[in-house]
């Protein structure tokens, strides 16, 4: 007999959120269990609107959102078990990081000494132990992110909601925070982390939800999503001095599906981008073609989402 | 609730001490002293000069300083987006309003009380001992007026600021100019909408009367009660509004 699957920590049933005539979320249903779950979507996809509903700062216009089996809006007992790291950089600039985290931890009912102890521990975990006594007005964007993450962790919540927590972090800080988020997920917490950068989410978790224009576009394992994305022809744009010559040479190659010219720009479509990049570089070198810029608009998440939306519309 | 209020109050005090707003409000609080000084330089003195100096106090300055501090009670959190941290805590939102209002009122009171005392001292500097002694009960009533007026206006500013969260200080200033300034000066029943009307009654200041126009004349005790009720009403409105509001981050 198989064991019953535990109930989802986060559950959304037909959730819609309207701001006047603008729909931020549209009939969204999804769930998340313990571990790290990535919420991936371009700007304006509705990620922040969704997270604000989950932390009780906003009400769904329609549908039901449940966290740990309860509705978050005006649910103070539930707030004890939630940690929230918002996207923006706003902090109390007159306060030091230790004062900031201690103050917010005290709002959970801990006494001042215990709150301070927890704040110090949380700041140490996020790598701010040495700068805890510095006023946050002088903090860099990356340091603010760490302080914000520390305030979400200090009371040791069961569920962590992190909105773009890596924004503004330097590469080293990014790696440290990714490691921390993975550790917290491995310890059994439910962590919903939003991002608009696919590789960031991939580094944190294999479990993702793709959100686009307020709707759930795809969900599941990140590798499945990757395959879906990889099946889509990849576009490479090359700016060079002789695009026609390079285009003709590329047409004969098996990795290239299509070639088009738009002004000084050569547009190449391929299913094997790595091989195509090498091919373009090799042919340019061989024929003395000067390449000034080479990039792939498909690396932009927006293009991937556009593709997935089109695919869904075709299927419909 | 009490612990959350305490946390918000301590934080508000810490931020106030490190900011400039407190000093600005303190300067406003001692401005009547200047009015009294100008009067003394023009050879005037006594209880009359003290009352004239108080006019500017009760109609404008006493409401103005709390507006500068307390109108932003929620607006500053929205502007700085810090409300997102606070509302994600198991603490009633009303505690933010109450905690901050307590601190703002306590921070303003010493400046206003000292300002009143100094104004009295300057106005009475050339008066003889008997006149000063005779004016002392009036000073006590003015002291009580300030003690009641500062928290009432703090609550009023918090209420107006919570009602208009996007431009709270501007809304507070407009309220003070129109209701506390203009309405309080117009003959007739409109006076009764201004807190300053009740505070003048409590302080024992003269009312101007217009023949044929009925105006309320509350006793000092009734005036104090109505002023306190108005303050409580504004505070209730502020806490009720903030408890159920769905704020969006300022872009």
Q: For A125-135, how does the pLDDT look when each residue is reduced to its tens digit (9 = 90+)?
A: 988 888 767 88
Contact A79 B90 (CB under 8 A): yes
Strand partners, A190: A35, A159
Cβ-count burial B197-236 (b if 16+ within 10 Å, e if not): bbbbbbbebeeeeeeeeebeebeeeebbebbbebbeebbe
User: Nearest CA to B150 among B221, B64, B90, B31?
Assistant: B64
Q: What is the pLDDT of residue A91?
A: 84
Flag whether residue A106 sits within 8 Å of chain B, measured between CB atoms.
Answer: yes
Query: Residue B87: its chain A contacts at CB < 8 A?
Result: 55-57
**The sheet that has A22-32: what strands, in order across it?**
A22-32, A10-19, A62-67
Which of the four pLDDT bands, split at 50, 70 and 90, describes residue B251?
Answer: very low
User: Nearest CA to B76 among B158, B173, B194, B185?
Assistant: B158
| Pairing between β-strand A234-240 and β-strand A256-262 as defined by DSSP bridges | unpaired
8 A C-beta contact, residue B156 and residue B179: no
Residue A245 is inside which H or E element, if any?
A: helix A243-251
Q: What is the pLDDT of residue A1?
A: 43
Flag whether residue B109 sits within 8 Å of chain A, measured between CB atoms.
Answer: no
Contact A82 B88 (CB under 8 A): yes
Which of the four pLDDT bands, split at 50, 70 and 90, describes residue A312?
Answer: low
Flag whether residue A147 sits within 8 Å of chain B, measured between CB atoms.
Answer: no
Contact B80 A95 (CB under 8 A): no
Query: Residue A94: its chain B contacts at CB < 8 A?
Result: 14-15, 18-19
Residue A81 has pLDDT above 90, yes or no: yes
The Cα A18–Cα A16 span in angstroms is 7
Q: Model pTM greater than 0.90?
A: no
Share of chain B above pLDDT 70, in %: 93
Mean pLDDT of chain B: 84
Tell me: the pLDDT tens digits for B79-127? Answer: 888 899 999 999 999 999 999 999 999 988 888 888 888 888 887 877 7
Give the gap in angstroms from C-alpha A81 to the nearest C-alpha of chain B: 9
Q: What is the pLDDT of residue B85?
A: 92
Residue B42 has pLDDT above 50, yes or no: yes
Q: What is the pLDDT of residue A230?
A: 61
Flag whether residue A138 sits within 8 Å of chain B, measured between CB atoms.
Answer: no
User: Nearest CA to A305 among A200, A239, A228?
Assistant: A228
Which of the four pLDDT bands, split at 50, 70 and 90, describes residue B152?
Answer: very high
8 A C-beta contact, residue A123 and residue A147: yes
Please state the three-class secondary structure of A135-157 as a single string.
EHHHCCHHHHHHHHHHHHHCCCC
8 A C-beta contact, residue A136 and residue A168: no
Side-chain-side CA neighbours of B6 within 13 Å: the count stands at 10
Tell me: the pLDDT tens digits for A240-268? Answer: 888 888 888 888 888 788 888 887 788 88
Mean pLDDT of chain A: 84
The DSSP output letter for B82 is: T
Give the 3-state secondary structure of residue B206.
Answer: coil
Contact A151 B85 (CB under 8 A): yes
Flag whether residue B247 sits within 8 Å of chain A, measured between CB atoms.
Answer: yes
User: Nearest CA to B181 among B63, B68, B69, B35?
Assistant: B63
Q: How many CB atoms lie within 10 A of CB A167?
A: 18
Q: Which of B7, B243, B249 sits opposite A103 (nearest CB)?
A: B7
Contact A86 B4 (CB under 8 A): no
Tell me: the pLDDT tens digits for A269-281? Answer: 887 776 787 888 8
Contact B90 A55 (CB under 8 A): no
The mean pLDDT value for B153-159 works out to: 94
Contact A76 B248 (CB under 8 A): no
Q: Which chain B residue is nearest to residue A149, measuring alpha carbons?
A: B85
Q: What is the pLDDT of residue A73?
A: 92
| Pairing between β-strand A10-19 and β-strand A22-32 as defined by DSSP bridges | antiparallel
* B237 alpha carbon, distance to own chain's centre: 17
Contact A104 B89 (CB under 8 A): yes
8 A C-beta contact, residue B230 and residue B154: no
Q: What is the pLDDT of residue A315?
A: 65
User: Nearest CA to B79 among B167, B171, B175?
Assistant: B167
Q: Which of A79, A92, A99 sits opposite B82 (nearest CB)?
A: A92
The mean pLDDT value for A53-82 works out to: 92
Structure tokens at A111: 């006494």
Flag whether residue A103 sits within 8 Å of chain B, measured between CB atoms.
Answer: yes
Query: Residue A55: its chain B contacts at CB < 8 A?
Result: 87-88
The residues, ordered by sequence, that sit 6+ positions from B56 with a Cβ below 8 Å of its Cβ are B31, B32, B35
The Cα B192–Cα B228 span in angstroms is 14
The Cα A66–Cα A70 span in angstroms is 5
φ/ψ region of B188 (left if φ > 0, alpha if ψ in -120 to 50, else beta) reads left
Tell me: the pLDDT tens digits for A39-54? Answer: 988 778 888 999 999 9
Query: Residue B82: its chain A contacts at CB < 8 A?
Result: 90-92
Contact B91 A76 (CB under 8 A): yes
The Cα B172–Cα A147 span in angstroms is 34
Give the gap in angstroms from C-alpha B88 to the nearest C-alpha of chain A: 6
Contact A106 B7 (CB under 8 A): yes
Share of chain A above pLDDT 90, in %: 31
Flag whether residue B14 sits within 8 Å of chain A, measured between CB atoms.
Answer: yes
Tell me: the pLDDT tens digits for B168-211? Answer: 999 998 988 888 777 777 767 777 888 888 888 888 776 666 66
Query: Residue A95: its chain B contacts at CB < 8 A?
Result: 11, 14-15
The mean pLDDT value for A121-143 works out to: 85
Flag whether residue B2 sits within 8 Å of chain A, measured between CB atoms.
Answer: no
Cα A214 to Cα A24, A38, A145, distances in angstroms: 5, 16, 26
The Cα A194–Cα A51 span in angstroms is 9
Mutate to test the interface with B, among A77, A106, A110, A115 (most CBs of B within 10 A): A106
Give the gap in angstroms from C-alpha B231 to the nearest C-alpha of chain A: 26
The Cα A240–Cα A266 span in angstroms is 8
Question: Helices B129-163 and B47-56 meet at what angle, rounded to 10?
Answer: 10
């Amino acid at each position: 007999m198989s064991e019953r699957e535990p109930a989802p920590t986060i559950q959304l049933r037909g959730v819609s959120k309207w701001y006047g005539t603008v729909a931020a979320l549209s009939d969204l249903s999804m769930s998340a269990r313990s571990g790290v779950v990535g919420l991936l979507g371009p700007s304006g996809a509705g990620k922040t609107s969704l997270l604000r509903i989950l932390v009780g700062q906003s009400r769904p216009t329609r549908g039901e959102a449940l966290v740990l089996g309860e509705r978050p809006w005006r649910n103070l007992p539930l707030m004890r078990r939630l940690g929230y790291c918002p996207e923006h950089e706003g902090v109390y600039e007159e306060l030091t990081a230790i004062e900031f985290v201690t103050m917010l931890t005290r709002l959970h009912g801990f006494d001042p000494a215990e709150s301070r102890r927890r704040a110090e521990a949380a700041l140490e975990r996020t790598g701010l132990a040495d700068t805890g006594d510095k006023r946050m007005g002088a903090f860099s964007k990356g340091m603010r992110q760490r302080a914000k993450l520390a305030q979400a962790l200090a009371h040791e919540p069961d569920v962590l909601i992190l909105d773009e927590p890596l924004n503004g972090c330097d590469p080293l800080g990014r790696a440290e925070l990714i490691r921390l988020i993975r550790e917290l997920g491995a310890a059994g917490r439910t962590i919903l982390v939003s991002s608009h950068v696919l590789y960031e989410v991939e580094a944190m978790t294999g479990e993702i939800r793709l959100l686009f224009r307020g709707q759930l576009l795809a969900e599941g394992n990140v590798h499945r999503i990757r395959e879906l994305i990889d099946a889509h022809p990849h576009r490479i744009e090359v700016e060079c001095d002789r695009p026609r010559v390079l285009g003709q040479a590329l047409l004969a190659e098996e990795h290239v599906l299509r070639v088009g010219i738009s002004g000084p720009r050569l547009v190449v479509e391929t299913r094997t981008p790595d091989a195509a990049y090498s091919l373009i570089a090799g042919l340019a070198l061989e024929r003395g073609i000067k390449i000034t810029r080479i990039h792939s608009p498909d690396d932009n998440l927006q293009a991937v989402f556009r593709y997935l939306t089109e695919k869904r519309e075709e299927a419909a | 609730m009490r612990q959350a209020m305490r946390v918000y109050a301590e934080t508000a005090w810490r931020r106030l001490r490190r900011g400039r707003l407190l000093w600005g409000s303190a300067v406003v609080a001692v401005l009547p002293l200047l009015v009294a000084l100008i009067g003394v330089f023009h050879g005037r003195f006594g209880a009359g000069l003290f009352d004239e100096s108080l006019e500017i106090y009760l109609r404008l300055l006493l409401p103005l300083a709390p507006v500068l501090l307390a109108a932003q009670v929620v607006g500053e959190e929205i502007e700085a987006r810090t409300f997102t941290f606070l509302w994600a805590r198991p603490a009633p939102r009303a505690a933010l309003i109450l905690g901050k209002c307590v601190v703002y009122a306590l921070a303003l009171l010493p400046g206003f009380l000292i300002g009143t005392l100094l104004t009295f001292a300057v106005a009475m500097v050339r008066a003889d001992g008997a006149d000063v002694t005779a004016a002392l009960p009036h000073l006590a009533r003015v002291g009580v007026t300030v003690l009641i007026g500062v928290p009432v206006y703090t609550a009023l500013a918090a209420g107006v600021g919570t009602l208009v969260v996007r431009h709270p200080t501007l809304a507070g200033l407009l309220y003070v100019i129109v209701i506390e300034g203009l309405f309080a000066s117009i003959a007739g029943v409109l006076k009764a909408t201004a807190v300053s009307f009740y505070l003048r009654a409590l302080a024992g200041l003269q009312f101007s009367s217009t023949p044929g126009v009925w105006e309320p004349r509350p006793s000092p005790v009734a005036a104090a009660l109505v002023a306190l009720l108005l303050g409580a009403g504004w505070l209730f409105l502020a806490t009720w509004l903030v408890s159920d509001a769905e704020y969006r981050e300022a872009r």
